A and B are shown apart, each in its own frame.
Chain A
Amino acid sequence: MSVTASFSRRARWRLPEIVFWLLAFAALLLPPGKHLLLNEIAILALFALSLDLILGYAGIISLGHAAFFGTGAYAAGLFCKLVTPDPHTGLAVAIVVAAALGAATSLLVLRGSDLTRLMVTLAVALVLHEVANALPLWTGGADGLQGMTVGPLLGHFDFDLYGRTAYAYSLVTLFVLFLLARRIVHSPFGLSLMAIRRNPLRASALGVPNRSRLIAVYTLSAAYAGAAGALLAQTTAYVSLEVLDFQRSADVLLALIIGGTGWLYGGLAGAIAFKVLQDVLSASAPQFWMFWMGLFLVVLALVGRERLGQGVRGLLAKVMP
């Protein structure tokens, strides 16, 4: 079989994928009550997807991905307040602003070793957090950006209290951007990224322009994170300093790790698991949610995903022969 055929086979749509998206859209028809949570899941999923683009495909670990999420959120919020309440242009503007920041900071991030990278991503996010805190005239500081009135979707669907419109908006955005990401990672560009991640030296020997490819994917990832931030700002009509918190960067990394990196659905699955568990566990005791999360991660990181999967399967086989 030719190489082209094997790659195009990998890019083909499979049944579980189609079922997954049908279910996600079918959730719109659920009776009101869970759409706010679903909206949060869709936003976290998009955010995790953006992190997967750099971590899973290009091997760049980021401890400060909230920088782009927050930039997108503030850009969308300020654009809505100062220019026009139309959500679509707001989303586009947020994407452009976040991408610009991504392109600018990629030059910093690509310097130095893996560990320095880690530090730089963290530093960029913390600097933005402090800048947002120190400019209350623009961002509202610790009180948050208030007084956003987001216009109706497509001109006549208003954002309601139950969050159905919000979920529809976030889900469609997620789906469109997911399709794009799926196309990109299966393209020669995406394959070259994976080559860089596995062996940068060999990739550049084969003629892959490592640096410009990494800058491109970092910018793309920033744009996605900015879109996720804009969705949060527009669907909640509020932006607080929390959008730039370290906690947010940590959460998205955890969600992605739970779902697994490097297959795009990892971010989505992780976001669902993370938010649903958080919703269920924190209803009873908020501290214990973090405790179980921590314990689960220790086991996951120590034992490894494959061995954990095998262990569970082995256990199931013993219980149900």
Chain B
Amino acid sequence: MPSATLLGQALISGVLAGGLYGLLAMGLSLSWGLLRLVNLSHFALAFLSAYIVYELGSTFHVEPWWSAAMVVPLMFAIGAGQHWLFDRFKVNELASLLITFSFAVIVEVAIQLYWTADFRRYETEYATRSIKAGPFYIPVMELVLCIVAGLIAWGTWLWLRRTYVGKALRAAAEDAEIAAAYGVDHKKLAYLLSGIGAAYAGVAGTFIALIATLAPAQIWAYLGVVFAVVIIGRLGNPLGALIAGMLIGASESLAMAVLSPAWAPVVSFSVLIVILLWDPDWL
């Protein structure tokens, strides 16, 4: 049995790493839950953002925060543009899966052509900094990520719950026709939501550039875990996505410490399967 310090450190790293899962899951959860579109290209957009942040940072020496300020609106525009395509051709769930998969492939090819298939690492002074709290180390970058993810999740949750636009969106997701009869312009709202989802991919991408090593094929690395997080956190619920992300991150990291690193990926899917079998009413 590993020591208490190791377990504690594993727990902390896991929860912090889970913040990224949660952040990636949030955008996906919104479009899946409220628009009924499964957006596989979400990961591709996140990595495209990461590469842009990397390029701006390492070639033009732009601070990552400024790059983020450029990338996030760009992603918003791409997300809204994607929705125009979905709306124009009346895309259903299966077709959305196919189309966004193809988008992801096209983005992957584009990244490969421009940045090659080599691993890229964005060298910044932020990346290696960490705080020492008692016997534990807390990496600063991932802590910032978790705080940002928490703020976004909380903000989005409040927005969906309290504001007129948020309520209209949830009403339209439940029954578009009835909502329209009450004067909800769900088409316009869908553009907004799609854009916001993609903008979250931009935020996630900025952090991916700062904490991870980039490679085009990495686009698919998060797919399974994040899908599991989306389902566990309940579709359309940003706070749930973040909590589920941290839960999965922590269990992966603990499995790594207690069993062996090879078993970590099994954990998230086993958690998912157990939850599906248990079949709680919020699923």
Contact = CB atoms under 8 A, between A and B. Distances in A.
B102 A126 contact: no
B93 interface: yes
A13 interface: no
A143 interface: no
A131 interface: yes
B40 to A, nearest CB: 10
Contacts of B106: 291, 294-295, 298
A84 B208 CA distance: 49
Interface string A265-299: 00000000000000000000001101101110110
Contacts of B273: 108, 120, 123-124, 127
Interface stretch (B68-76, B131-139, B172-180, B262-270): B262-270
Given A297-B101, A302-B89, A291 B231 contact: no
A61 B91 CA distance: 16
Contacts of B283: 112, 116
A302 B87 CA distance: 10
Contact of A131 (B109, B235, B266): B266
A108 B283 CA distance: 14
Q: Is the interface of B mostly helix, strand, loop or mixed?
A: helix
28 contacts: A61-B94, A108-B273, A108-B276, A111-B279, A112-B279, A115-B235, A116-B276, A119-B227, A119-B231, A119-B272, A123-B224, A123-B227, A123-B228, A123-B272, A124-B273, A130-B263, A130-B266, A131-B266, A134-B263, A246-B223, A247-B220, A250-B101, A287-B112, A293-B105, A295-B102, A301-B102, A302-B91, A303-B89
Given A108-B273, A130-B266, A287 B109 contact: yes
Q: On chain A, which size bracket covers the interface? A: 35 or more
Contacts of B38: 115, 118
B3 interface: no
Interface of A: 61, 108, 111-112, 114-116, 118-120, 122-124, 126-127, 130-131, 133-134, 246-247, 250, 257, 287-288, 290-291, 293-295, 297-298, 300-303
Contacts of A127: 266, 269-270, 273
A290 B117 CA distance: 14
B276 A294 contact: no
A55 B206 CA distance: 38
B144 interface: no
Contacts of A302: 85, 89, 91, 95, 99
B277 interface: yes
B283 to A, nearest CB: 7
The 6 closest A-B pairs by CB, nearest first: A294-B105, A294-B102, A134-B262, A297-B102, A123-B269, A301-B95
Contacts of B276: 108, 111-112, 116, 120
A302 B92 CA distance: 10
Given A108-B276, A297-B101, A122 B112 contact: no
A301 B85 CA distance: 11
B98 interface: yes
Contacts of A287: 109, 112-113
